[in-house]
Structure 1
Amino acid sequence: MTENKNLLDVSGLTAGYGATSVLKDLNFKVAQGEVVAIIGRNGVGKTTLLRTLMGLIRHSQGIVRFDHQDVSNLKTYQRARLGIGYIPQGREVFPRMTVWENLKVGEMLQQPGKGVDYERVYEFFPILRERARQRAGTFSGGQQQQLAIGRAMVGKPKLMLLDEPSEGIQPNIVKEISRNILKLNRELGMTILFVEQNLDMIMKMAQRCYVMDKGQIIDELEVTQLRDRELMRRILAV
């Protein structure tokens, strides 16, 4: 992984809430076109990391470079317009708005000069066309996750951050979402960085994996290690 191919380069990142540091001198890189997982037990800082990368939590030290640009001090909407999409834990769709209205929200975070290809979104998630006038709050968890990913796709991100995309979703829908995320990667070249606890999803999707503990990256697993189910279970054990 040579430096000029790194889409995301994080060095010395320290961040947290108030005077409490959750992330401590954290370093890692994600190359263009990779699918990389962040794993570890509950409470080690995985969600805080994604929120800091998105600018929702201010960092106290370190640098976040995205597409060769220092974005460390940019606001959330500025990072989004540069090409970072974010699907938070719990999805956070607008429940009283229709599916179509939720998708239109994604246009506000679109990169300048890029048109919206809704047909491509519907190709990945046909249910969003079928139920465009339905309120998002009436969707199941899996359907809301598809809507959240579709809304992020509207902005045509180069990098998509997903926080526990399998949480609260039926196993058969988890498989479908996994397939679609990989399709985004393979067909659109989208880089994926995701936090996950679901072992099957991690093993199916990730090409590499960073292991977090106590706010730091403590290990990096390559694809052969990711296929070692017992090793992965030990790492994810509560």
Structure 2
Amino acid sequence: MRKDVLLDVIDLRAGYGGKPVLQGVDFQIREGEIVAVIGRNGVGKSTLMKTLIGLLPTDAGSINLRGAALDQMSAHNRARQGIGYVPQGRDVFPRMSVLENLRVGESISGHPVAGKLAEIYRYFPILEERADQRAGTMSGGQQQQLAIGRVLMGAPELILLDEPSEGIQPNIVQEIARIMVELNRETGVTVVLVEQNIDMIRAMAQRCYVMDKGRIVAELDRAQLQDRDTIRRYLSV
């Protein structure tokens, strides 16, 4: 059975200080998918993520979640509507403990979700082990797990991951990819990730959009994603 469209982006245009970056982005994400957005540096991938979550205003076009327009909605309210965002660089609260960071994520939903903390600890046992540790003293890979766990505490139906492999050693990258696939399979959470790491893309994504010069220029299916040369070509154009 074909799943419903969760996120529908139509002719999206946005940029910085009047300088256009996104120049008519169109794509759809169906519920329960894991979809990657790839492309070389500077083509607008992170700008896309910031515009989807509301950190950058939409200049034109529309962003629709289950058919409801989000264009004029603040980032905070988009989070309340069920969108979680893990930014490039993670942005954990360094002076707060791991548990305190997770509680911040819980507050996003507006109400505690029963059993959610135990669920996060099951997927990311290092977070339970380090619950009292200051987040800023953790390794990059541990901070990335915390950033994802913090978002999951709000029980989102869509997670936006911006360069989740950045600054993380390869074995932890693969572990995070495995956990995200498991989360998707067991909970149905939808994931959109911007990524350059070929191994992470191939491990996680069910299909992939390719960006160039502020637009979506190609779509790759699962079979094409298994061809490293195909992905590498799009990452190096």
TM-score band by shorter chain is over 0.9
Aligned to 1:118: 117
CA gap of 1:152–1:113, structure 2 versus 1, over 3 A, is closer
- The DSSP-based 3-state class of the residue aligned with 1:78 is helix
Query: Alpha-carbon deviations, 1:143-177, whole Å to 9, x = none?
Result: 00000000001000000000011110011101110
* Runs of 4+ residues over 2 Å off in structure 1: 111-116
For 1:82-231, list aligned pairs within 5 A.
Answer: 82-110=81-109, 114-115=113-114, 117-231=116-230
Distance 1:102 1:223 in 2: 35
Shift of 1:232: 1.0
Shift of 1:108: 2.0
Aligned to 1:34: 33
Identity, in percent, stands at: 57
**Number of residue equivalences:** 237
CA gap of 1:113–1:176, structure 2 versus 1, over 3 A, is closer
Shift of 1:184: 1.2
CA gap of 1:68–1:115, structure 2 versus 1, over 3 A, is farther
Look up the equivalent residue of 1:169 and give its one-letter code.
Answer: I
Aligned to 2:6: 7
CA gap of 1:35–1:106, structure 2 versus 1, over 3 A, is same
Q: Which runs of 5+ in 1 are unaligned?
A: none
Query: Alpha-carbon deviations, 1:110-136, whole Å to 9, x = none?
Result: 155844610000000111111111000
The two structures have a TM-score, normalised by structure 1, of: 0.96
The two structures have a TM-score, normalised by structure 2, of: 0.97
Distance 1:219 1:227 in 2: 16
The answer to whether the Cα contact below 8 Å between 2:113 and 2:153 also exists between their aligned partners in 1 is no
CA gap of 1:9–1:208, structure 2 versus 1, over 3 A, is same
- The DSSP-based 3-state class of the residue aligned with 1:97 is coil
Look up the equivalent residue of 1:71 and give its one-letter code.
Answer: L
Aligned to 1:74: 73
CA gap of 1:67–1:113, structure 2 versus 1, over 3 A, is farther
Aligned to 1:63: 62
- The DSSP-based 3-state class of the residue aligned with 1:93 is coil
Distance 1:82 1:112 in 2: 13
Aligned to 2:235: 236
- The DSSP-based 3-state class of the residue aligned with 1:134 is coil
The answer to whether the Cα contact below 8 Å between 2:49 and 2:160 also exists between their aligned partners in 1 is yes
Look up the equivalent residue of 1:76 and give its one-letter code.
Answer: A
Distance 2:82 2:113 in 1: 11
Shift of 1:82: 0.7
Distance 2:113 2:134 in 1: 27
Query: How large is the Cα RMSD of the aligned pairs?
Result: 1.4
Aligned to 1:49: 48
CA gap of 1:122–1:113, structure 2 versus 1, over 3 A, is closer
- The DSSP-based 3-state class of the residue aligned with 1:36 is strand
